[in-house]
Chains A and B, each alone.
Chain A
């Protein structure tokens, strides 16, 4: 019998349609982590809303969680559509996937403003440094000097989405790599437990256009130049399904909104996830060495989410009945009397 989670569901129940991406694409590896993370967290698939923009990455919601509704919106517009859906139904669990073109270029304004509003969502950027779906043009996250297949080196500076998110006061900012399955699983599970905007920038090699050795986002390059801030374990608020090994060195725990923990096992220098400057430093230090720093960069609990600042009624707006939505005839009569006075 297949292993089941707290909801008595097998991992199969969290799967989606067959992927049509290139074999070996980093995005597929992330999809498989998403399925596993949702399953391990025992999230009801019904309650999840899968959101995406346009790109190879944004196609992936069709390839996981077939029992969840999804919306593959328009290029760069996923954050605003998610904002509206969030206002309509604040009980939905928003799981969003975007690409580096979708987020760092055409949709950068919406990315910024979704963070500013602290939408309650998990925002995964599948970052390959190119526009995969339009056949491999450089994106704004390609590093200066990085070189994609059959091309000249990229001449412009990269936009670092994590640094940007931290500057904007995002409450959960992490970077990971599609090839670091354990780290990515822990981060996605934690991102799902977080209340507020969780941004995870996942380096996700495009095997077709940007996987040559001169590229800083190729599989091999990231493997060799990945500076992990810490080892990561996610400990769910219910009895853990998996055994979590106690690390031999020191560790810190980050308590998440739903009572789960993210255990940070210190590897090198101690990183304080509550310290913005330290997070920006870590990004900068890696950048000057053409390295990638991965792990939970920054975390802050308790910032009000948009649905809280909007002071909405407890029932999701989409479920309100007419008597809650249409004021009575007497109120209109009163208004008209006032107008006529």
Chain B
């Protein structure tokens, strides 16, 4: 059989809290250092220790980043999922198992590498044997796949950043795995890793850290947050970078961090900061957004610059708290009671996480409104490859704030809610300035900010708000297109589906279909999306939720005559989208409508 190089999926089954995460990250990092396209997806439970966890590593010379549809190399460490994990494997799969778990392998159609990982680890460090055992399978795979030891050592050093003892133990364990493979096992599989030219600009980072850095460079002044997976590491990221990047020469901070008592308070603090002229932000996940809804409407109506990042997880309710979904997009767009409409920024990769991280504040202050950032657990918590973040290319946009009497006098007929410039965006003054004070409120008010329940006043104001947000359509991040010459079929997608789209496209192409793509990067939708739909005969709206939430938004927003062109392909099982499943669903949808 021929060698299979850089084209396989590894599935590592462990229990959480056993220290497998660092071993898995070392493996991923070593593959990355070899210049291969490798991605890692952590499927973890809502639990601190002892429940099943899988780490899926995909290596692909095609650059595919989605978890593969099949497993080629299976590592089993966990007794609880042992038989189920093994049962699922296709004949010919490599199985690396820890013989110290003392569980049977009742398959004779697999390539089996039995390794006494715990006993080997015990010899290296009896106290930490459970953790060290994980590095043994990394060593086994390194030898089996021909990953050079020096590269593995680099990855180990990077993982433990200067902690000599940890580096030593882990490197010892990896060597011990290697030696065991050499002396006790015989390579019967065909999987190999080969070096590729590495783009020296690339590195791995997760979306939450990228957004956190974006916020730091966006001049965030206050972070309020209430812990919730998968958004907590975003808040912790900001907290981590403040001492390095946001202290003045006397060691005093330009950004407050408050762990709020709940999400109601977290969003209240954001509004307070925005109202008083600072850049406030919170991050949360779906349940938090549900709680914040009332004040999201207040921010919209009272026109308070505010930023919320929603790192979505599986709903409804507590749902699957540690799994991924694009389940909140329609909620975000119209969050809160009454007529509301919010700006939503939708990064599709970690570079955009950074970029939209700082831009969110500019949009919030420019439009004096609530701005959401929308990511999900897959983009937020898994490592993705970055090409390097671009330093902000324009100065901070603080919006129409009048800070002095002179500035105020230049505005003809100032009123807090008067559309002086015709763009729907009013001017504002800040508390403490003494300039044209009003009582901001969520109840009806006229153009001067004076309480009013008059029908015409309410309606005029609501129309202005609509006009204000409408104006953002061409100003927000515009869609990204990949277009074919023949324009039969187009796919509209967004967010973390970016990781899977190339592979879906290749699968469809292999069946003879040529498909254009449009990645939506913000709501409200750009008019360019309309044009994309117009250019194509049929459009598939592809997303990771049950109900086709973006499909619903599109149906409402695009020109009525274009609506019949739209078809929804949407489902969600909590896992990052797999290419074959979505490609098959697309084909199935097209067939079922006999298109």
Seen from chain A, the residues whose Cβ lies within 8 Å of a Cβ on chain B are 17, 44-47, 49-50, 61-62, 66-74, 76-77, 79-89, 91-92, 109-110, 112-113, 117, 306, 310-314, 316-320, 322, 324-327, 329, 331-332, 335-336, 339-341
Q: Mark B233-254, 1 if CB is under 8 A from A, else 0.
A: 0000000000011101011111
Determine if B531 is an interface residue (Cβ-Cβ < 8 Å): no
**A72-B439, A83-B258, A313-B248 known; A326+B219 contact, CB < 8 A:** yes
Q: Which residues of A sit under 8 angstroms from B450, Cβ to Cβ?
A: 17
**A62-B439, A88-B222, A326-B219 known; A46+B433 contact, CB < 8 A:** yes
From B248, B257, B264, B268, residue with most partner A Cβ within 10 Å: B268
Q: Is the CB of B245 within 8 A of A331?
A: yes
Determine if B395 is an interface residue (Cβ-Cβ < 8 Å): yes
**A46-B432, A325-B221 known; A336+B203 contact, CB < 8 A:** yes
B206 to chain A, nearest CB (A): 12
A306 to B158, CA, bound (A): 38
Determine if B413 is an interface residue (Cβ-Cβ < 8 Å): no
Q: Which residues of B sit under 8 angstroms from A340, Cβ to Cβ?
A: 200-203
Q: Which residues of A sit under 8 angstroms from B254, Cβ to Cβ?
A: 312-313, 317, 320, 324-325
Chain B residues 443 to 457 lying within 8 A of chain A, measured CB to CB, are: 443, 450-451
Q: Of A82, A87, A92, A109, which one neighbours B262 at CB under 8 angstroms?
A: A109
Q: Mark B467-484, 1 if CB is under 8 A from A, else 0.
A: 000000000000000000
Q: Of A71, A80, A310, A317, which one neighbours B441 at CB under 8 angstroms?
A: A71
Taking A47-B432, A83-B269, A332-B389 as given, write out 18 further A-B residue pairs in contact, using a Cβ cutoff of 8 Å, ordered by the A residue number: A46-B432, A49-B276, A69-B431, A69-B439, A71-B439, A72-B442, A79-B265, A80-B272, A81-B268, A84-B269, A85-B276, A87-B269, A88-B280, A310-B257, A317-B255, A326-B392, A329-B391, A340-B200
* A63 nearest in chain B by CB position: B439
A67 to B429, CA, bound (A): 12
Q: Is the CB of A110 within 8 A of B442?
A: no
Determine if B430 is an interface residue (Cβ-Cβ < 8 Å): yes
**A318-B278, A325-B219 known; A83+B205 contact, CB < 8 A:** no
A114 to B396, CA, bound (A): 31
Q: Is the CB of A80 within 8 A of B391?
A: no
Q: Is the CB of B278 within 8 A of A87?
A: yes
From A45, A67, A110, residue with most partner B Cβ within 10 Å: A110
Q: Is the CB of A326 within 8 A of B272?
A: no
Q: Which residues of A sit under 8 angstroms from B443, Cβ to Cβ?
A: 72
Seen from chain B, the residues whose Cβ lies within 8 Å of a Cβ on chain A are 158, 200-203, 205, 213, 216-219, 221-222, 224, 244-246, 248, 250-258, 260-262, 264-280, 294-295, 298, 302, 386, 388-389, 391-392, 395-396, 429-434, 437-443, 450-451
B359 to chain A, nearest CB (A): 13
Q: Which residues of A sit under 8 angstroms from B429, Cβ to Cβ?
A: 69
A181 to B453, CA, bound (A): 34
* B268 nearest in chain A by CB position: A80
A156 to chain B, nearest CB (A): 24
A43 to chain B, nearest CB (A): 12
* A107 nearest in chain B by CB position: B264
Q: Is the CB of A317 within 8 A of B434?
A: no
A-B contact pairs, 24 of them (CB 8 A): A46-B434, A49-B276, A68-B437, A69-B438, A73-B298, A74-B268, A81-B275, A84-B278, A88-B276, A92-B276, A109-B265, A112-B261, A310-B258, A312-B253, A312-B254, A314-B252, A317-B221, A320-B254, A324-B254, A325-B246, A326-B392, A331-B244, A336-B388, A339-B386
* B440 nearest in chain A by CB position: A71
Q: Is the CB of B276 within 8 A of A318?
A: yes
* B213 nearest in chain A by CB position: A335
Q: Which residues of A sit under 8 angstroms from B262, Cβ to Cβ?
A: 109
From B265, B429, B430, B442, residue with most partner A Cβ within 10 Å: B265
**A49-B431, A317-B221, A339-B203 known; A110+B253 contact, CB < 8 A:** no
A66 to B265, CA, bound (A): 27
A69 to B450, CA, bound (A): 13
Q: Which residues of B sit under 8 angstroms from A50, Cβ to Cβ?
A: 439
**A69-B437, A332-B217 known; A74+B295 contact, CB < 8 A:** yes
A110 to B279, CA, bound (A): 22
B275 to chain A, nearest CB (A): 6
A117 to B256, CA, bound (A): 13
A153 to B245, CA, bound (A): 60
A163 to B389, CA, bound (A): 53
B393 to chain A, nearest CB (A): 11
**A47-B432, A88-B272 known; A80+B252 contact, CB < 8 A:** no
**A84-B222, A113-B265, A332-B391 known; A72+B270 contact, CB < 8 A:** no
**A80-B269, A89-B432, A335-B213 known; A110+B264 contact, CB < 8 A:** yes
Q: Of B201, B246, B264, B277, which one neighbours A318 at CB under 8 angstroms?
A: B277
Q: Is the CB of B219 within 8 A of A72?
A: no
A45 to B432, CA, bound (A): 9
Q: Which residues of A sit under 8 angstroms from B392, Cβ to Cβ?
A: 326
A157 to chain B, nearest CB (A): 24
**A83-B272, A317-B254, A317-B256 known; A322+B295 contact, CB < 8 A:** no
* B433 nearest in chain A by CB position: A46
* A333 nearest in chain B by CB position: B391
A321 to chain B, nearest CB (A): 9
Q: Which residues of A sit under 8 angstroms from B441, Cβ to Cβ?
A: 71-73
Q: Of A70, A86, A335, which one neighbours B439 at CB under 8 angstroms?
A: A70
A65 to B429, CA, bound (A): 17
Q: Is the CB of A113 within 8 A of B217?
A: no
* A65 nearest in chain B by CB position: B437
A77 to B299, CA, bound (A): 13
* B222 nearest in chain A by CB position: A87
**A67-B437, A74-B295, A336-B389 known; A85+B219 contact, CB < 8 A:** no
From A82, A88, A332, residue with most partner B Cβ within 10 Å: A88
B292 to chain A, nearest CB (A): 10
Q: Which residues of B sit under 8 angstroms from A313, Cβ to Cβ?
A: 248, 250, 252-254
Q: Is the CB of A81 within 8 A of B269?
A: yes
Q: Which residues of A sit under 8 angstroms from B278, Cβ to Cβ?
A: 84, 87-89, 317-318
* B205 nearest in chain A by CB position: A339
Q: Which residues of A sit under 8 angstroms from B217, Cβ to Cβ?
A: 326-327, 332
Q: Which residues of B sit under 8 angstroms from A336, Cβ to Cβ?
A: 203, 388-389
**A45-B434, A319-B277 known; A310+B221 contact, CB < 8 A:** no
Q: Is the CB of A70 within 8 A of B440?
A: yes
From A45, A46, A61, residue with most partner B Cβ within 10 Å: A46
Q: Which residues of B sit under 8 angstroms from A341, Cβ to Cβ?
A: 158
A208 to B46, CA, bound (A): 52
**A61-B439, A80-B264, A113-B265 known; A73+B271 contact, CB < 8 A:** yes
A251 to chain B, nearest CB (A): 37
A84 to B295, CA, bound (A): 13
Q: Is the CB of A67 within 8 A of B434?
A: yes
Q: Which residues of B sit under 8 angstroms from A314, Cβ to Cβ?
A: 252
A197 to chain B, nearest CB (A): 15
Q: Which residues of A sit under 8 angstroms from B252, Cβ to Cβ?
A: 311-314
A318 to B396, CA, bound (A): 13
A225 to B444, CA, bound (A): 41
**A68-B437, A336-B389 known; A73+B268 contact, CB < 8 A:** yes
A331 to B450, CA, bound (A): 46
Q: Is the CB of A86 within 8 A of B253?
A: no
B318 to chain A, nearest CB (A): 20
Q: Is the CB of A70 within 8 A of B271?
A: no
**A70-B437, A109-B262, A324-B254 known; A88+B273 contact, CB < 8 A:** yes
